[in-house]
Amino acid sequence: MAGSRNRKVAVGGDDRLSDLPEGILEHVLSFLPAADAVRSSVLSRRWLRAWAHAPALNLSDELLRDRFLGFAREVLERYGAPDVPALDVTLGCESNLGPATAAWLRDAMGRVVESISVSVTAPGALYQLTLPRGLRAKSISLRLSGVTSEYGPLVLPEPGAPTSFGALEELSLSRVRLRERVRPLGEFLSSCCPGLRKLRLTKVSGELRRAPLVLHLDMLEELVVDHVERFNKLQVVSANLRVLGVLSSFESMSQWRIDTVVEISAPRLEAVGWSGFLPKHLSFLHGSHCIRRLSGLRFYLSWNLSTSAVRLLEMCSSADHLSVCIDIPDVTPSMLIREKLENVPHLPNIRVLSLQLATILRFIAIGCSIAPIIFSLLRLCPNLTRLHIDLSMLNPFLYLMVPDIDDDTEVKKPSQSSGSNPWKACGDQQQLGMLREIRISGFMGTDLEMELVDILFGVVAARPAIERISLSLFPQLRQGIDDSPVCGVGATLSAFKRMMSSPRVLRHMDSIVAKMKDRFPLVGGYWETVPRKELTWIRAR
């Protein structure tokens, strides 16, 4: 590029990037891998040192491999200020997981004033990482091992000497093995991180089989404990805790005949997400009347494994938002449904219900009726205002068997006789007078799904409270916990995209839209369509 304001790029046109103000140009460079940002120096004098003032350094050994550590050291030495706003390090080569890298990371973290992210994607684990006595970063995320059963060891600062993590507001530890003999995690966080607002522990273990996690953090607002097994006690005391998530944790302790004690003292707790094992000794010391949202609960219709979900529903009876998954076998007789759901308490306070159905036999299309399962729950929630039913995991491989649709296929009207469908009468008896919105996602137009909408729409369409009914066609991409796209239907992302763009699937989606509009004219409103994605009925004002 030339140095004048009329610079031209090689392919023609103005070089507008070089004319950007310094702050914006540096911001753009912060999104690039550090190796590419450094290479931009050769473009012109204007770009010579711009990378050294970028607000974020993204260091990865994907291309550098054995040259990574030397490059990383040089980048930090040449950075234009003593303080680095943000540092993001990704290690995918096992040769870079040794003590030299761990020592460099310890020093580099001490220069960061905003956010630190360290992620090991290599199969092994990072050599022992020792945290310095003080860090100024506001956010720290450490994932210290890749796809291996061995977690990366993390050594916390020893007690006694001055330790400062006063700026830390968010901490995420994943695939980490703690050295409890040096310092317990709870004691370190409670004494050294007074401003911590968000804490996530994922697959965190320790040297001891039994260890307590005691957190006294007044500023803590969100706590997630995910696949954590080694703690025999979880005690949380926080005046500001609003969100608590305990996901698939503590079950192995029960297998060792060790009772886990969970005590939550949080007067402002609003949302609880709990999946998997529920300890016998669970208590909300300020009561559970403030809890408004429950999620993660799972009912199993083939095994007697729903006790935890029932107990939590009974404990949090004031909740008005509920998200639950029902795991059903390939064939579920109606008697089995009644037996498995008879212990579920009456839920008159639930206003918003999100219901996901999933099959246990993942490779077999479900053969039982799903309408009785859904209506068995709806009868327990007579005051619903919003209902979401997710069918994405009901038949996770059914998209492989989508029939080729003939454009001349006749659309059949639903039967008008409730006697022809034993669940039609059940649906007619539902007290759904307050229901304003119904949303069904992952809709594929199978006979079982059409049976459900025949009953559900037939019951509620004529009720004056209904304002909106929407159908999302086929499983949709959703955001995973690492912000990556997830298809959620048992397929890789590339296979999912190919499936959704095939002529056979596109014709099938078009046929669903035509069938629904013809089958449910729903007088008093009108249908809107997002082609091949969503179909929505809206009541006319």
- pLDDT mean by block of 10 residues, the chain; 541 residues: 40 54 65 72 60 84 91 90 93 95 95 96 94 94 91 89 88 91 87 96 82 93 92 92 93 68 95 90 90 91 71 92 84 51 86 87 57 84 93 65 45 40 48 85 85 76 78 67 46 62 78 85 84 87 77
Q: What is the DSSP letter of 285?
A: T
**Rounded alpha-carbon distances, angstroms, from residue 299 to 349, 440, 491:** 20, 20, 24
Task: Give the DSSP per-residue string, 463-523.
Answer: STT--EEEEEES---EE-TTS-EE--SSS-HHHHHHHHTSHHHHHHHHHHHHHHHHH---T
In the chain, the largest separation of any two C-alpha atoms, in whole Å, equals 83
**Rounded alpha-carbon distances, angstroms, from residue 533 to 141, 445, 461, 527, 530:** 36, 13, 22, 14, 5
Q: For position 49, what pLDDT does the model report?
A: 66
What is the spatial distance between Cα 438 and Cα 156, in angstroms, rounded to a whole number?
50
Q: What is the DSSP letter of 409?
A: P
Residue 224, token pair as written in the block: 């997630």
What is the spatial distance between Cα 89 and Cα 61, in angstroms, rounded to a whole number?
9
Q: For position 216, what pLDDT does the model report?
A: 96
Q: For position 51, what pLDDT does the model report?
A: 73
Q: For position 254, what pLDDT does the model report?
A: 63
Q: For position 338, what pLDDT does the model report?
A: 52
Residue in the structure block whose two tokens are 């291309």: 63
Q: For position 208, what pLDDT does the model report?
A: 65
